[in-house]
Amino acid sequence: MRYLVVLQAAQARHDAPPELMEAIMRLGEEATRAGVLIDTAGLAPSAAGARVELSGGALSVTDGPFTEAKELISYTLFQVRSKEEAVEWASRFLRLHRDLWQGWEGEAQIRRVFGPEDAAPPA
């Protein structure tokens, strides 16, 4: 099963300690060796993005920044056996932030990515 983990930070900050970045790289290498890491990347601030919305049959486009309480800052795509395994990898990532970046706050949202195996069989 594939799971998408989206990291949100309470405050968009770009002053991550070097030891945190090194620890994140080691965790990524471990996930790669375990065969579970498909892709990961940082995300630009919402100020560099746009939102396309469909409401009442009309499309509208809004340029960022957006007023959400938390900024999306990165994503990771895992291929794992269970939701619990995805939760464990995300928890390890957040523990690195807790341990190596004093005062950092955020959350990781974990969502299953549907594949062809999840589609209903043709009628």
Given a contact cutoff of 8 angstroms between Cβ atoms, the answer to whether 37 and 4 are in contact is no
**Is the bond preceding residue 17 a cis peptide, omega within 30 degrees?**
no
Reduced to 3 states (helix: H, G, I; strand: E, B; else coil), residue 118 is helix
pLDDT in tens, 21-74: 999 999 999 999 999 999 999 999 889 999 999 999 999 999 999 887 788 999
Which pair of tokens denotes residue 78?
A: 């895992």
What CATH number is associated with residue 53? 3.30.70.1060
* Residue 76 resides in a domain: yes
Gap between the Cα atoms of 105 and 117, Å rounded: 36
pLDDT in tens, 52-67: 999 999 999 999 998 8
* Residue 55 resides in a domain: yes
pTM score: 0.87
* Residue 45 resides in a domain: yes
What percent of the chain shows pLDDT beyond 70?
98
* Residue 27 resides in a domain: yes
Instruction: Render the burial of 86-109: b for 16+ CB within 10 Å, e for the rest.
Output: beebbeebeebbeebbeebebebe
